Structure 1
Amino acid sequence: MKFGSIEQSSVPDAVLSLQEPSTRFHRNFEQQDTPSRMLPPPISHWLSAFSLRNLNRVSCLVRPSPLPAPRNSHTRSGMELKAVVSALEKLAPPSLAESWDNVGLLVEPSPPFAVRSVLLTNDLTEAVLEEALAKKVDFIVSYHPPIFRALKRLTGGWKERVIVKAVEGRVALYSPHTACDCVSGGVNDWLAKAIGPASVSPLSHSLSAQFPGAWAHRVEFSVGSEADLGSILAELNSLQGVDVHYHTARSGAGEQTRVSVNCMAPALTRTMKLLARESAIYRTVQVLQLNKPPVPDAGPGRICTLSDPVTIATAVQRIKTHLRLSHVRLALGARCTLDSLVLSVAVCAGSGSSVLNGVPADLFLTGEMSHHDVLDAVAVGTSVVLCDHSNSERGFLSELKEALTGQLEGKVKVQLSETDRDPLEIV
């Protein structure tokens, strides 16, 4: 389906009926007075674009029309949607998110749209959405993305119902998820506070969104005095997407010019094809892969080295206090007791199996791990504390609330969900 050239007949009635008359789509076939009103107005009159971008986010844009103004209007106080999104991206840059994740703005209401109230939740359940609608919230930040796997239709399941009701209610949906995990001062740093005073660093580092100087490859080669350096440099500089540098030096073989060509992948092939015409030069070619630099203090998981060792029993009590839980699950490492000392703790909010696997530490702290991963940790003497998935994340939302309120300069009300909770209880 091409947007902007969509025909009315190509839009299913089921999709059009998702919207209230005052929102993005309008079909009114009920109690019409005259035959001329039996037909809906041409949808192209107000519809500019409706998309499931990559099938994992919903975006709608409309051009002005004589239809009644939507409930959320720019005439009311608040902030523009893009300003709120920009504030969230400053707090947790989407570039830090894992490649498999689906972060950012997932549902974008049609303009005009002002954000006056934001609701923070760990999981966007139907109960949380009903709470948001009752509180007339415009924007929901759901730590876990409510759209994660690709959707082919918005029918049937509870997750689809949540998306449909958000669209009908003109509520924007945003998820920071693993960007919030990795960023310095994010979820994992909050969870690491449970251990007490410690030096804390990421288990591995996130990489910068950009290559050094925006180049992915460097081609280096030598040009002897007998070669036509000027012609070679001119041909290289004629290529699109390259950056050429050179310097001349004397050696036992005589005067040599060393040339460096920085380029992205598309220009690499063209550069090599050009140099292959000169066999003497081609024999000196070296191709270097440039890596994106690591981001300081950002990355998945945390390793904590305590200022003073504590017993496992003390560590468990600190964790329960920090997470406000009466119970957690504990697997003692081989040859460990509750009085065994803990100096190093590896932390991963949510599901920690893949992140913590093989990390040398006295204690693992995470929300959940598989049975066999717990056995593997215990076998090497690492004790494991499990507090259930969202219990290892939800408490961070209070810190996010304060940070986001500051970013929005108090112009938008930011509140925590009262119905969001972990689905598991100890009974």
Structure 2
Amino acid sequence: MLVPGAQLLRRTLGRIPPARSLMDLREIVSALNNFAPLSLAESWDNVGLLVEPSPPHAVSTLLLTNDLTEEVMEEAVQKRAELILSYHPPVFAPLKRVTWGSWKERLVVRALEHRIAIYSPHTAYDAIPQGVNNWLAKGLGPCTSVPLHPSSAPSCPAEGTHRVEFSAGNTKGLDSLISKIKDIQGISCLTTLPARVEGEEQTRVSLSCSQKALLEIVELLSQNNYKTEILLLQKPPLPHTGMGRLCTLHEAVSLSHIIQSTKNHLKLPHIRLALGVGKTLESPVKKVALCAGSGSSVLKGMEADLYLTGEMSHHDVLDAAAKGISVILCEHSNTERGFLSELRDVLTSHLQDKVNIIVSEKDRDPLQVV
């Protein structure tokens, strides 16, 4: 039997979270890259580890934020975070200097002074199946979704970008030609097989090569008058992976219903709406094309009843409305920030609960309705 004081101690100890071990920064970065391969990010993006304190760097607290502002950096310092995962890369355009003169440079200065690493996944998180766009789609209700722009399997330089095939009826000089081809950098998977072409016994040569090597191979083969076939090697699309989503609702609902469910999902009192020509708030919505953040380039030309995104250019909104497509705009980061709570739970499991993952309380959209 426990005395009252012991009972209180037992209840108090029961609320103490389990002790977490430290993780080396490079181990965490490897796990984060495994969770969302950086190869899925757009080519223009700046993703991955952006600021790295001198190694070794142990991490016990990871702070998640949508935008790394100076207010969020101060929060990270106060909460003793050793790593910040900022969805938007705080360093995007190259820095020519790191001084106290601009707020983005000050972020780097403070991060290094306090030994805080900065990692940004950005569009890699847009593409993955468990990423930002799939979270945004959850506000629509029961639906099936496919990427608007599917991601392809990552290229392996050794596999090449083109396949070249040609046949030789006379093997005289063929060995010398193949030897010259093999000396070209960027050649892989070269094979020779006997073949019958138009009733004649020939040797069929097949190889894979890079774009740069292709030019040298074509020049060699043209000098010897070989009839050549060139195929562009295309990578298969990755399932459920890519930019944007086309969501087909299980049952059509009114536009007003989608507006309310979107507000509820994003916890917003207001959104911006452009009605498509001939549409009303009671018009049925069956297909929704969506893109978290800035959706103009991703949504452009897509057939749907509704576009849902954070922001679009004025003229793209006009184009969509003229085609009878309604547009809902929620401001850029409002379509992304709510994902962080879900990400915290997913990463806690992915990192095997080895670090304390917290969501910033200071991170907010810079625009407000007043």
- After TM superposition, the score normalised by the length of structure 1 is 0.78
| Matched AA of 1:205 | P
**How far apart are the structure 2 equivalents of 1:296 and 1:274?**
39
Q: Give 1:390's aligned residue.
A: 333
Q: 1:330 aligns with which of 250, 254, 273?
A: 273
Shift of 1:294: 2.2
Instruction: Give the count of matched residue pairs.
Output: 349
For residues 170 and 55 of structure 2, what CA distance do their matches in structure 1 show? 64
Match of 1:422?
Answer: 365
By relative contact order (CA 8 Å, sep 6+), the higher-ranking structure is 2
Q: Secondary structure at the match of 1:137?
A: coil
> What letter matches 1:265 in structure 2?
Q
Distance 1:263 1:251 in 2: 24
Partner residue of 1:201 out of 146, 150, 157: 146
> Contact 1:304 / 1:346 at 8 angstroms: preserved in 2?
yes
251 and 101 in structure 1: CA distance in 2 versus 1, 3 angstrom threshold: closer
Provide, for residues 216-259 of structure 1, a one-character-per-residue CA deviation record: whole Å limited to 9, x for no partner: 12211111146454444444445444231132232435222221
State the Cα deviation string for residues 363-412 of structure 1 (Å, max 9, x = none): 11101112222111111111111111111000111111111111211110
Amino acid in the other structure paired with 2:159: A
Q: Is the 8 A contact 1:95 1:208 kept in 2?
A: no
Aligned residue number for residue 399 of structure 1: 342
> What does 1:53-64 align with in structure 2 at a 5 Å threshold?
none
Give 1:262 deviation, angstroms: 1.2
Return 386-395 or 208-217, whichever deviates more.
208-217
CA distance in 2, matches of 1:385, 1:196: 16
Measured against aligned partners, the alpha-carbon deviations of 1:149-180 in whole angstroms (never above 9, x if no partner) come to: 11112231211111111111110000000000
| Corresponding residue number in structure 2 for 1:374 | 317
- Structure 1: state its 5+ residue gaps: 1-75
Q: Find the residue that maps to 2:257 and give its secondary structure.
A: helix
Measure how far apart 1:84 and its partner are.
0.8
SS at match of 1:173: strand
Quick check: 1:246–1:260 contact (8 Å CA) kept in 2?
yes
Q: 1:245 aligns with which of 174, 177, 191?
A: 191
Q: Aligned partners of 2:342 and 2:183: how far apart in 1?
A: 52
Distance (whole Å) between structure 1 residues aligned to residue 165 and residue 214 of structure 2: 12
Task: Tell me which residue corresponds to 1:354.
Answer: 297
Considering only aligned residues, what root-mean-square deviation do their CA atoms show, in Å?
1.8
Amino acid at match of 1:276: S
Cα deviation for residue 210 of structure 1 reads 1.0
Instruction: State the partner residue of 1:27.
Output: none
Distance 1:241 1:226, change over 3 A: closer
Q: Does 2:164 match 1:222?
A: no
Separation (CA, whole Å) in 2 of partners of 1:240 and 1:391: 48
Task: Provide Cα deviations, 1:58-95, integer angstroms capped at 9, x if missing partner.
Answer: xxxxxxxxxxxxxxxxxx95101111111211221110
Q: CA deviation at 1:211?
A: 4.6
The separation in 1 between residues aligned to 2:201 and 2:304, in whole angstroms, is 55
Give the % identical residues.
Answer: 56
- The equivalent position to 1:118 in structure 2, one of 62, 75, 80, is 62
Is the Cα–Cα contact under 8 Å of residues 225 and 255 in structure 1 kept in the other structure?
no
Is 2:159–2:208's contact at 8 Å kept on the other side of the alignment? no
The superposition leaves residues 123-143 of structure 1 with CA deviations (integer Å, 9 ceiling, x where unpaired) of 001110000000011000000
Structure 2 unmatched runs, 5+: 1-19
For 1:328 and 1:357, locate their aligned partners in 2 and report how far apart those are by CA, in whole Å: 20
The question of whether the paired residues in 2 share the 8 Å contact of 1:212 and 1:293 is answered with no
Higher deviation after alignment, 310-319 or 260-269: 260-269
